[in-house]
Amino acid sequence: MKVYDSITKGLNEAVQYEKGEHKSVRVHRVSISPVPQFNSDTIKAIRASVKMTQQTFAEVLGVSKKTIEAWESGKNEPAGSASRILEMLQKDTDILEKYSIISHR
Question: What pLDDT shows up at residue 1?
Answer: 67
pTM to 2 decimal places: 0.76
Distance CA 100, CA 58 (A): 16
By mean pLDDT, which of 10-14, 24-28, 37-41, 63-67 is the weakest?
A: 24-28
CA distances from 41 to 45, 74, 82 (A): 6, 9, 16
Q: What percentage of the chain exceeds 90 in pLDDT?
A: 71
Distance CA 64, CA 29 (A): 37
